Amino acid sequence: MRGCASQRGTGAVRDGRPSTSRGHASRSPSPRGAAATLRGMFTSSPLTGSKAEQYAALAAQARALLHGERDAIANAANLSALVYHALPDLNWVGFYLFDGTELVVGPFQGLPACVRIPLDKGVCGAAARTRTTQRIDDVHAFPGHIACDSASRSELVVPLYAGERLIGVFDLDSPLPARFDVEDQTGLEAIAAILIESTYPETAA
């Protein structure tokens, strides 16, 4: 829904091949958990191998990054940064959080976004309302799409539930049509699950 494509990151999942089109230095994760603390900085490594292998590596990095932290805002902020810099052809990655009435923009990477989204509007509202991931090849063809940014062409939104409680949604936009396939959906749903497991361990399945 937002932002122009940007140059960032080091390793990326695209058509089963790593991408190196983004300019940040590569990093490698610590096996003991890599959240940035007074003891050291988080490091991430380039993603290589098949798309499934790359998503498995990204999930391991996400798990290390969130290990031992239960603050929802901190975890959403770090996870959005991790994914935004790891995957290619994204112009927005972030979270909308449910305030009891509607979705409110939370931590994200990308250009400024729509602030509030009713549950009966847009791709994010549909994901939250139906509890089903929305993988949209062409956002302009989606009924009720909220056009926060005309640059976005495709979108994937994963609903976030802690047990029966709606937490929000994990939202990714791309300037390319049909950017997300089934493997992307599976991989990103797994990463969203790590957020729930880390932040709400008492309710995670």
Query: How do residues 43-67 score in pLDDT, each as one tens digit?
Result: 777 899 999 999 999 999 999 999 9
Length of the chain: 205
pLDDT higher than threshold 50 for residue 9: no
Task: Give the per-residue pLDDT at 148.
Answer: 75
Domain membership flag for residue 130 = yes
Domain membership flag for residue 164 = yes
Distance CA 140, CA 205 (A): 35
Q: List the domain range (segments joined by +) for residue 175.
A: 51-199
Task: Give the per-residue pLDDT at 13.
Answer: 55
Task: Give the per-residue pLDDT at 160.
Answer: 98
Domain membership flag for residue 10 = no
Q: What is the mean pLDDT of residues 4-26?
A: 44
| Residue 134: CATH number of its domain | 3.30.450.40
| pLDDT, tens digit (0-9, with 9 covering 90-100), for 100-144 | 999 999 999 999 999 999 999 999 999 999 999 999 999 999 988
Domain membership flag for residue 156 = yes
Distance CA 176, CA 154 (A): 6
Q: Where are the beta strands (DSSP E) in the chain?
A: 92-98, 103-110, 116-117, 134-136, 154-162, 165-174
| pLDDT, tens digit (0-9, with 9 covering 90-100), for 159-171 | 999 999 999 999 9
